[in-house]
A and B are shown apart, each in its own frame.
Chain A
Amino acid sequence: MVVGSLRNEQRKFTLFLLTPALLTIIIFTTVPALTILSYAFFKWTGFEREGFAGFENFQRLFSFPFRDQFLMALRHNVLVFIAIMVIQTSLGILIAYSLFRLKRGQRFFRTVTFLPVIFSLVVVAYMWQVMLDPYYGPINQIINGIGFESFAKPWLGSMTTALPTLVFINLWRWVGFPAIIFLAGLNAINQEFLEAARIDGATEGQIFRKIMFPLLAPSMTIITILTFIGAFEWFDLPFVLGGSNGNPAGTTDTLALMFYRLSFGSVDSNANDIGVGSALGVFIFVIVGVGAGVGQYFLRKREVAQ
């Protein structure tokens, strides 16, 4: 490193302070991130690297038996992204708007809304597992209690409801995050705009649609990008509640779960396939990187200046 106009003492101090931090980042983040690229182009037996494989691992990922698993997992990731984006984001805006309109107690309700975000997903997952227990769980008891017996379901055990239930649990845990971001966005809007519109006779609905919503675009950009990244790396919640195979019957499988199985083996077979696993890892990396980059570019463009 070239140190320009510093005194000798400062130069030593710079090296002394920067080296440990940079080494930690290089050894435990940069090097592994770069090597994953090379892993995908080699043959592997267990954790031993063998000959060069070219694009063979990628070809195998896109052919039998991995292809069907891969496409199903990818579909789930896409569905989860859309569902979270639509439901969680609109609910987040709604909560943010209600908090914004509150005259008193904004702080208190803000604290309450944000609380689940600090919970571990493991704690959240198990709490809901008990709540949703098919026989004794409170949720089904309520449903039976109000006389809708036919709606009481084994929510997490049924192939049709498992994924939507996971999305719901995710919603409960995360909704406070977009809500707080949007609230910060609303609070940053110049009050004069709102007052001017009110004087001109705009209804509150019009104000929200025509003024607040467009000015929330920067918050929307952040939330969309973060949701996209989160949805395509979705792992903890499906793993804790559905296991590494995405039970029941693979209906909660995701790309990250598949990546985990290929890397470290699954419950029913310890055999791993690092080559195909790394190819999948590179694929996820590209989706997330390109998706976030392109998304950021287009979303930034539609933001308007205040």
Chain B
Amino acid sequence: MPVFFLFNSALRETSSFASNPFVLARDPHWENFQQVWSDGEFVIYLKNSLIVTGGSLTLILILALGAGFVLGRYEFKGNGLVFGFVLTGMLIPAKLAILPLFIQLKWMHLLDSHIGLILVYASGALPAAIFIMSGFFRSLPIDLDSAARIDGASELQLLRQVLTPLVRPGLAIVAIYSAIPIWNDFFLPLVLLQSPENKTIMQGLTVFFGQYASQWGILFAGLTMAALPLIVLYLVLSEQFIKGLTAGAVKG
């Protein structure tokens, strides 16, 4: 319902919306979307969000795949210790560490940079991601490894060609679990990004709302475009989404 309302409102003229918000858009004003699109800044914000979310996700998936493999499949002294350390990482609320993080990133020259933000997101999502991935690796039969090794596979080949295809469902859960909060995040970009050309879409929306304060058709078009990528993905993959977003809670 609200989604339909959002979308419908995005196709209306401001004046007609104000007088009667619930009428269907008879002659859809697609130009609302066009206007948002031609507002150069909005597209930059969207692009930045794509870069940051995509970059973080790539990093999280690769690192969690590797670390999950080692922690889930190798038996060595220190395994439990490392695993315990990773678990404590899940308990630290990133928001409260923001002050030292801010000063530290400034010192590392990573403030106001997408790379800095990506590293912070990766660090925040990795503990849960490693936890989930190592669980998936542990659940695969150990005979697979022995068989591959007898056939002369190296450890890298074993991971890449034998095991990775089998833990794909885990990777999907991790991807959704990590990507949604990053795409939707408001707080970290607010603090860690300053130049207007670096801002992400959720921050950009606040600028956008100041600019078009009374043009509701355009505002709704902007909101729709900011939410659309996730909505479309959700409608296609809703089962995985629900599983992914509740993954932390159900295991906890």
Contact = CB atoms under 8 A, between A and B. Distances in A.
A224 B66 CA distance: 34
B88 to A, nearest CB: 8
A140 B74 CA distance: 62
A21 B66 contact: yes
A273 to B, nearest CB: 11
A148 interface: no
A6 B74 contact: yes
A118 B123 CA distance: 22
A157 to B, nearest CB: 15
Contacts of A36: 96-97, 99-100
Interface stretch (A7-15, A63-71, A79-87, A191-199): A7-15
Contacts of B69: 17
B118 to A, nearest CB: 10
Contacts of B59: 24
Contacts of A184: 246, 250
Contacts of B250: 181, 184, 222
B216 A18 contact: no
Interface stretch (A89-97, A159-167, A209-217, A277-285): A277-285
Contacts of A239: 186
Interface in A91-138: 110-111, 114-123, 126-127, 130, 136-138
A155 to B, nearest CB: 16
A21 B67 contact: yes
Interface in B43-92: 59, 63-64, 66-67, 69-71, 74-78, 82, 85-86, 89, 91-92
A240 B207 CA distance: 11
Interface band, chain B: 35 or more
B97 A138 contact: no
A29 B104 contact: no
Interface residues of A, number: 73
Contacts of A245: none
Nearest to B14: A136
A263 B102 CA distance: 10
A119 B100 contact: no
Given A18-B70, A39-B99, A119-B184, A24 B92 contact: no
A304 interface: no
Given A25-B89, A184-B250, A288-B93, A126 B209 contact: yes
A4 B77 contact: yes
25 contacts: A2-B77, A6-B74, A9-B155, A14-B70, A17-B69, A18-B67, A21-B130, A22-B86, A24-B122, A25-B89, A27-B119, A36-B96, A47-B106, A110-B242, A114-B242, A117-B245, A119-B184, A122-B202, A122-B205, A126-B223, A127-B2, A235-B95, A259-B96, A274-B99, A281-B99
